[in-house]
Amino acid sequence: MGRSARWTGLAFVAPFLILYVVILFYPLLMGMGISLHRADLFGARTFVGFDNYVRLFGDPIFHQALGNTLLLTLMIVPPLTAIALGLALALNRPTRSAAWLRGLFFSSSVLSVTIVTLIWRFILTPDAGLVAEILEAAGRPPIPFLSDPELTIPALAITTIWWSIGLPMMLFLAGLQQIPADIYEAAALDRAGPWTRFRRITLPSLRRTLILVVMLQTAAQLQLFGQAQLLTAGGPSGASRPVVLFIYEVAFVRWELGYASAAAEMLFLLVLAATLLQYWAVRPREEG
Amino acid sequence: MSAHRLSPVAWILVLLGAAIMAAPLLWTLLLSFKANGELMRDSAAAFSAPYTLENYRAILQGSSLLRWLANSLIVSLGTTAGMLVLASLAGYGFARIDFPFRRTLFVFVLLGLAVPEQAVILPRHQLFATLGLHNSYTGLILPGLVGPFGVFFMTQYFRAIPKELDEAALLDGASRLTIFWRVLLPLTWPAQATLGVFTFLGSWNDYWWPLISATRSERFTLTIGLASSQMNYAQTSGLGFLMAQAVFASIPILIVYIVFQKQIVRAMAGTAAR
Using an 8 Å CB-CB cutoff, list chain B residues near A207. Answer: none
Dihedral sign (CA B262, A89, B27, B70): negative
Determine, for residues A105 and B94 on separate chains, whether the beta-carbon distance falls below 8 Å.
no
Give the model's pLDDT for residue B234: 58
| Better pLDDT: A279 or A229 | A229
Q: Is A190 helix (H, G, I), strand (E, B) or coil?
A: coil
Give the model's pLDDT for residue A288: 36
pLDDT tens readout for residues A89-145: 999 988 899 989 999 999 999 899 999 999 999 899 888 788 988 888 888 888 888
Q: How far apart are the C-alpha atoms of A57 and A151, rounded to whole Å?
A: 27
Q: For chain B, what percent of residues have pLDDT higher than 70?
A: 94
Biggest distance spanned by C-alpha atoms of chain A: 84
Q: Residue A45's beta-bridge partner residues?
A: A39
| Letter string b/e over residues B210-227, b meaning 16 or more CB atoms within 10 A of that residue's CB | bbbbbeeeebbbbbbbbb
Query: Is residue A160 classed exposed, middle or buried when 0-12, 13-18 and 19+ CB atoms within 10 A define those classes?
Result: buried
Instruction: Give A144's DSSP letter.
Output: -
* B152 and A CB contact within 8 Å: no
Provide DSSP, B19-67. HHHHHHHHHHHHHHTS-HHHHHH-GGGGGSSPP-SHHHHHHHTT-HHHH
Q: How far apart are the C-alpha atoms of A203 and A206, rounded to whole Å?
A: 5
B116 HSE (CA, 13 A, CB side): 24
* A81 and B CB contact within 8 Å: no
CB nearest to B99's CB, from A10, A91, A173: A10
DSSP alpha helices (H): ranges in B179-260?
Answer: 189-204, 208-213, 222-231, 239-259
- Around Cβ A109, how many Cβ atoms within 10 Å? 20
Q: Is A165 helix (H, G, I), strand (E, B) or coil?
A: coil
Determine, for residues A114 and B271 on separate chains, whether the beta-carbon distance falls below 8 Å.
no
Give the angle subtended at the CA of B115 by the CAs of B111 and B121, to the nearest 5°.
Answer: 140
Indicate if the pLDDT at residue A59 is higher than 90. Answer: yes
* Residue B116 near residue A223, CB atoms below 8 Å: yes
* B208 and A CB contact within 8 Å: yes
Measuring CA to CA, how many Å separate B185 from each of A194, B89, B159, B179? 48, 10, 13, 8
Determine, for residues A272 and B114 on separate chains, whether the beta-carbon distance falls below 8 Å.
yes
Determine, for residues A194 and B4 on separate chains, whether the beta-carbon distance falls below 8 Å.
yes
Nearest to A161 by CA among A101, A96, A87, A92: A87
- Around Cβ B9, how many Cβ atoms within 10 Å? 8
Distance, in angstroms, between B132 CA and closest chain A CA?
A: 13
Q: How far apart are the C-alpha atoms of A39 and A251, rounded to whole Å?
A: 10
Model confidence at A2, pLDDT cuts 50, 70, 90, reads: low
**Helix A257-286 and helix A207-222, axial crossing angle in degrees, nearest 10:** 170
DSSP alpha helices (H): ranges in chain A?
Answer: 3-20, 26-34, 51-58, 60-91, 96-107, 113-124, 130-137, 152-164, 166-177, 181-189, 194-197, 203-205, 207-222, 226-227, 243-252, 257-286
- Around Cβ B208, how many Cβ atoms within 10 Å? 19
Model pTM score: 0.91
Q: How far apart are the C-alpha atoms of A138 and A136, rounded to whole Å?
A: 5
Q: How far apart are the C-alpha atoms of A95 and A101, rounded to whole Å?
A: 10
pLDDT tens readout for residues B222-270: 999 989 887 776 556 688 888 998 998 898 888 888 888 877 777 776 6
Nearest to A86 by CA among B14, B15, B9: B14
* A206 and B CB contact within 8 Å: no
* A13 and B CB contact within 8 Å: yes
Contacts of A89 (CB under 8 A, 6+ apart): A172, A176, A198, A202, B1
Model confidence at A203, pLDDT cuts 50, 70, 90, reads: confident
Measuring CA to CA, how many Å separate A282 from each of A76, A171, A173, A211, A288? 21, 17, 20, 7, 12
Q: How far apart are the C-alpha atoms of B134 and B126, rounded to whole Å?
A: 10
- Measure the CA dihedral B12/B15/B17/B18, to 10°: 180
B93 HSE (CA, 13 A, CB side): 27
Indicate if the pLDDT at residue B8 is higher than 90. Answer: no
* Residue from A40, A115, A167, A232 to probe the interface with B (highest B Cβ count within 10 Å): A115
* A215 and B CB contact within 8 Å: no
CB nearest to A171's CB, from B97, B98, B272: B272
Give the model's pLDDT for residue B67: 92
- Measure the CA dihedral B223/B226/B230/B235, to 10°: 150
B117 HSE (CA, 13 A, CB side): 19
Distance from the first to the final alpha carbon of chain A: 41
Model confidence at B1, pLDDT cuts 50, 70, 90, reads: very low
Q: How far apart are the C-alpha atoms of B46 and B28, rounded to whole Å?
A: 9
Using an 8 Å CB-CB cutoff, list chain A residues near B120. Answer: 24, 27-28, 31
Model confidence at A43, pLDDT cuts 50, 70, 90, reads: low
* Averaged pLDDT for residues B93-108: 91
Determine, for residues B118 and A43 on separate chains, whether the beta-carbon distance falls below 8 Å.
no
Determine, for residues A1 and B98 on separate chains, whether the beta-carbon distance falls below 8 Å.
yes
Distance, in angstroms, between A201 CA and closest chain B CA?
A: 10
Using an 8 Å CB-CB cutoff, list chain B residues near A226. Answer: 207-208
* B99 and A CB contact within 8 Å: yes
Distance, in angstroms, between A150 CA and closest chain B CA?
A: 22
Give the angle subtended at the CA of A35 by the CAs of A33 and A38, to the nearest 5°.
Answer: 105
Contacts of B43 (CB under 8 A, 6+ apart): A122, A128, A129, A133, B31, B239
Give the model's pLDDT for residue A52: 93
* Residue from A6, A10, A13 to probe the interface with B (highest B Cβ count within 10 Å): A13
Using an 8 Å CB-CB cutoff, list chain B residues near A119. Answer: 24-25, 27-28, 246
Model confidence at B61, pLDDT cuts 50, 70, 90, reads: confident
Q: How far apart are the C-alpha atoms of A242 and A238, rounded to whole Å?
A: 8
CB nearest to B116's CB, from A20, A112, A219: A219
Give the model's pLDDT for residue B2: 44
* Residue from A6, A8, A19, A24 to probe the interface with B (highest B Cβ count within 10 Å): A24
Give the model's pLDDT for residue A1: 47
Distance, in angstroms, between A175 CA and closest chain B CA?
A: 6
Q: Is B97 helix (H, G, I), strand (E, B) or coil?
A: coil
Determine, for residues B109 and A108 on separate chains, whether the beta-carbon distance falls below 8 Å.
no
Dihedral sign (CA B34, B36, B39, B41): negative
Measuring CA to CA, how many Å separate B269 from each of A170, B1, B255, B265, B274? 8, 18, 22, 6, 9
Q: For chain A, what percent of residues have pLDDT higher than 90?
A: 56
CB nearest to A267's CB, from B118, B180, B273: B118
Instruction: Give the residue from chain B lying closest to A268, CA to CA.
Output: B119
* A82 and B CB contact within 8 Å: no
In the stretch 26-55 of chain B, residues with CB closer than 8 A to chain A read 27-28, 31, 39, 43-44
* B234 and A CB contact within 8 Å: no
Distance, in angstroms, between B145 CA and closest chain A CA?
A: 8
